[in-house]
Chain A
Amino acid sequence: MKPILELRNLKMYYDTQAGQVKAADDVSFVLNEGESIGLVGESGCGKTSVSMSIMKLLPENGRIISGNIFFDGKDIVNFSDEEMNKIRWAGIAMIFQAAMNSLNPVYRVGDQIVEAITAHEPNVTFEEARQRVANLYKLVGLDPERMDNYPHEYSGGMKQRAIIAMSLACNPKLIIADEPTTALDVIVQDTILRELEKVQKKLNMSMIYISHDIAVIAEVASRIAIMYAGKIVEMSDSVVIFKRPAHPYAIGLMSSFPSIRGEKKELVTIPGEPPNLLNAPDHCRFAPRCPFATDECWKQTPSYSEIESNHFVACFHPQNLKKLVNMNA
């Protein structure tokens, strides 16, 4: 399999008046063609910063300090805006966190999708582009007649579908879905995720899902990377992570999700507050909240260890969930 996207030690910092915010620190992962990965973590852990770094849509005070982003074999970190504009949407498309506000209120929804097509494929006529949009509408389960409506005439779910249609408009190789369904109710959430998965499989695209909800991600992504305080702390196949989480934070995340089928157990909350990324410390960033922390954890940042094949954990004391449960019981 050919890797479509590779992040190598990506460091993305924000300069603020109070100091440097290390939103992404040494983030590395590889995404193959047709594969999907989920980035999970609490809000403010740097998930969105990573996705914005890939699109190179950083705010003025955000900088990529070091590291590489290889897209389709080319390092795009030093690409100019013009070069990036060719990659944006045609290569990497995005489904945004707040789909509700991702459509410009003063233009027709269809026109906004047509605009994306004509910007990248100038030879396509308006009518052809419209035809393509109509097909996309059918693909995501929208009535093509609604193309000429304005965003305020759409419901939340319809807007979300329109956004998905828009992300598919230029047949991108990679789609980043940043909290694609957070604003929707559970039923709609599920349908849309399934549709997204279906489309992804059908068109053989790569996908990055970003969410705070590990349960949602596990359903659609084949691999999961758990982020904490700007770092990926654990990464493996979704099944593995779900069954055998090893990082104390991942265990905490798992235990804070109720299971319908499983036995009734008390939801465990992770004590303490999410870390302040401002002037982040040099030691393990989870140490202040970690029940297993030792002196070692307060001295240096743990490096990745492969505890089983393709299961990476950045922790000095990787745990075994089963043992823990038995111990408590």
Chain B
Amino acid sequence: MANELLFFMEVLVGGLLAGTMYSLVALGFVLIFKASATFNFSQGAMVFFSVLAFCGFMQDFNIPFVLAFILAAFLMVVVGLCTERLVLRPLMNASEDTVLMATIGLGYVLEGLAQAAWGVEVRRLDLGIGDFPVPWIADNLKLFISALDITAGLVAAIMIIGLFLLFKYTKIGLGLRAVADDAGAASSIGIPLKHIMLLVWSAAGVVALVAGMMWGARAGVQFALVDLALKALPVLIIGGFSSIPGAIIGGLIIGAVEKILEVYIGPFFGGAIEGWAPYVLAIFFLLYRPEGLFGEKIIRRV
């Protein structure tokens, strides 16, 4: 019995920590949605693009880790700048769905560019953190938890606290919230809309880079990252599109539920149900709480 409980705990903790990886991807979506009510479908492609560039800098040009990170982050700022100038500004008054379609196109562009520049083969990314159980925890608590999972959890926690403080206590954060509330009113009182957008897209780019590094260290840097990032969508639905804590909680729920379902129910169906379980979970959430756990209630008028 104790063993079973221990096993359950192990599955649960593993799932929760894996869930923080989804949270990291979802965080990028939330940042952009919060500031511009734009759903950025290309976030997954940004994850792939940024981490592939990072790997490319490190492996093809032998640039040291820190410098490669800075270069990749700078690249994402450039991407953000181009997106703001070339895609978002012309679509300022377009409908939500039109902007969504444009970001799907943007995703295609980024995926194509990344593969054209750095090739299509799977790259190994070694962060110096092993994807194996931490011996100390395995010995003392009898739980087998990967070091990479713990790192991802810590990184996610740091980023969330940082972003939370930024939104809550800085002038930039206040501007961001004002723009999110009503872009027209915000710009009429002198908040520079362009700079805010650029800032948000750059921040989302850096978040994408960090998420990509975590995913890349686990699964290799490859095109499948884009599909993995799609799983951030159910995370967002559960957490709510405009809530940073929501992204985290949503990620944890998805991570834990999909692992538990996979381990306890999966064998009855031949396994691999984690491919669709998050989406079905999201549908149930949609039926009962369409705005997500922490989202704002959507009221539509004729």
A and B associate in one complex? no
